[in-house]
Amino acid sequence: MVDPRERDLLATVPDGLFIGGEWVAADSGRTLTVQDPATGDVVKTIADASPADGIAALDAAAEAFPSWAATPARSRAEILRRAFDLLTARAEDFALLMTLEMGKPLAESRGEVVYGGEFLRWFSEEAARVTGRYAPTPEGKGRMIVSQHPVGPCFLVTPWNFPLAMATRKIAPALAAGCTVVIKPAALTPLTTLLFAKLLQEAGVPAGVVNVITTSASGAVSEPIIRDPRLRKLSFTGSTGVGQRLMEQAAQGVLRTSMELGGNAPFVIFEDADLDKAVDGAIAAKFRNIGQACTAANRFIVHRRVVEEFTRRVTERVAEMKVGRGTEEGVAIGPLIDDRAVAKASSLVADAVARGAQVTTGGEALAGSGTFYLPTVISDVAAGSDILREEIFGPVLAIVPFDDEDEAVRLANDTEYGLVSYVYTENLARGQRMIERLETGMMGLNMGVVSNAAAPFGGWKMSGLGREGGAEGIHEYLQTKYTLTPDP
Ligand code: NAD
């Protein structure tokens, strides 16, 4: 039986493409379906854009750019602030919609509305802080003016795991800077972006400033947009492989790019850690979003003196986690996004077990409808296991023991990624040494979750380029101009 609250909410979600301020069908008339991963049921059928639709969206963004760029920063900020207020007022709708299309527990969806909303508030405040400088040259001959300008129309590509926050983290700084955008959400979770575009329209975003294309043919639709000379910026969040491909396409037009890619976060627990805090942090860093976060702890590197105690305590907690549809009371672990994700978790665990790891809880997929994998802990994971090299993107906590600080650093840095690292120690000097020695764009020191709209989010090494959030975030959408003038 269909829940009336879900049915009423879904009726308010647009099913068209949003181009030039209008909701339109795909020019081919094609549609795509969005499914609830907890049940496999169709949630909604929406437009499936063609490459021509993608170019129409870019046409609209290019046309709207000059007047949006010339709109005073304060006016742009007020629209973003209105969007923040509207989103806050409708938090329950957005939370439920994310749970329906992506599967995360409702409490976490509510958390994402707060986190995602903060980018609107933060960048509404940053819009008016963009400044330049005026200074004499060092020789005292002439005056230099340095000014900042919006880069132009942007193409934003977002993943399925945080349907709202990944959209606001890009749209808010772009609009604050004076850029117009075409956004392409993942085909698995496009509904949140569609409802959010409707909210932006209501908040007063002018026609063409934000355009949304939903498509099952992401490669075919994206490439002509990226290769179009009118596009000036590509911002992508997703897997490293797709990011690399898009960077190759972007090279042709020497496009500005921001890349938020994969991670393989170490979670290091020293023998002097407060284990209560470490267990709480581990649960948050590993199981938030059902383990499907680029910031998810992937490798638990635990000092041999505390590894048994940590494994026992964390296993007890994980064994109690309730698995089910995200709308059910008390559920901590919803479904994985699809069958492929379940197969990946299963094969990573099987490979680790074949190399000698022990499963202390979980370790299997759930039979029946929906794509569920039990929350799992595996200990004694051997060096060389696939699970230590690959992003798990599922609820599997893998433990590796170590003997001294140098070994912990070597293990933590032994990855081509460098998005985030977690370290638990009560020793301040050791914590400071770890800040200096870990190859990472972000770090939680005795903290299991680091994301904050006011902080620069982004990675080192193959985890990406550029930063989202913080004072840095808006500069991804600005370009610098230097002008020399004579002495007055
Ligand atoms: P994905 O790379 O498969 O897809 C991301 C987006 O790219 C989607 O919109 C998808 O439709 C699109 N896409 C896929 N192939 C494309 C192509 N050939 N051309 C253009 N667009 C294409 O990633 P995903 O499975 O949706 O998300 C999971 C990945 O995202 C993980 O690796 C995760 O670490 C990463 N991620 C990173 C961050 C971060 O901030 N660093 C945040 C969330 C997710």
Express each pLDDT in 314-340 by its tens digit: 999 999 999 999 999 999 999 999 999
pLDDT tens, position by position, 139-161: 999 999 999 999 999 999 999 99
pLDDT at 383 over 70: yes
How far is ligand 1, taken at its centre, from the CA of residue 429, in Å?
38
Active site (catalytic) residues: 260
Q: How many Å apart are CA 203 and CA 189, to the nearest integer?
A: 23
Chain mean pLDDT for the chain: 98
- Reported as a pLDDT band with limits 50, 70 and 90, residue 138 is very high
Ligand 1 site, residue 420, Cβ cutoff 6 A: no
CB atoms inside a 10 Å sphere around CB 155:
29
- Nearest protein CA to atom 35 of ligand 1, as residue: 238
- Nearest protein CA to atom 17 of ligand 1, as residue: 219
- Nearest protein CA to atom 26 of ligand 1, as residue: 159
Give me the percent of the chain exceeding a pLDDT of 70: 100
The DSSP H or E segment spanning 461 is strand 460-461
How far is ligand 1, taken at its centre, from the CA of residue 392, in Å?
15
Residue from 242, 257, 339 to probe ligand 1 pocket by mutation (most atoms less than 8 Å from CB): 242
**pLDDT for res 404:** 97
Ligand 1 site, residue 238, Cβ cutoff 6 A: yes
Ligand 1 site, residue 294, Cβ cutoff 6 A: yes
| AA identity, residue 381 | V
Ligand 1 site, residue 163, Cβ cutoff 6 A: no
Closest by CA position to 19, among listed 56, 49, 48: 56
pLDDT at 174 over 70: yes
How far is ligand 1, taken at its centre, from the CA of residue 127, in Å?
28
Ligand 1 site, residue 261, Cβ cutoff 6 A: yes
- Nearest protein CA to atom 20 of ligand 1, as residue: 219
| Average pLDDT for 254-281 | 98
- Nearest protein CA to atom 31 of ligand 1, as residue: 239
Ligand 1 site, residue 279, Cβ cutoff 6 A: no
Bridge partners of 359? 378
What angle do helix axes 91-102 and 106-126 make, rounded to 10 degrees?
A: 120
How far is ligand 1, taken at its centre, from the CA of residue 158, in Å?
6
| Average pLDDT for 202-220 | 98
Ligand 1 site, residue 291, Cβ cutoff 6 A: no
pLDDT at 270 over 90: yes
Ligand 1 site, residue 237, Cβ cutoff 6 A: yes
The ipTM is 0.95
- Reported as a pLDDT band with limits 50, 70 and 90, residue 476 is very high
pLDDT at 13 over 70: yes
Cβ-contact 472, 127 below 8 angstroms: no
Chain centroid, CA 186 distance in Å = 12
How far is ligand 1, taken at its centre, from the CA of residue 200, in Å?
24
Contacts of 193 (CB under 8 A, 6+ apart): 158, 163, 164, 167, 183, 185, 212, 214
- Nearest protein CA to atom 40 of ligand 1, as residue: 260
The DSSP H or E segment spanning 249 is helix 240-252
- Reported as a pLDDT band with limits 50, 70 and 90, residue 1 is low
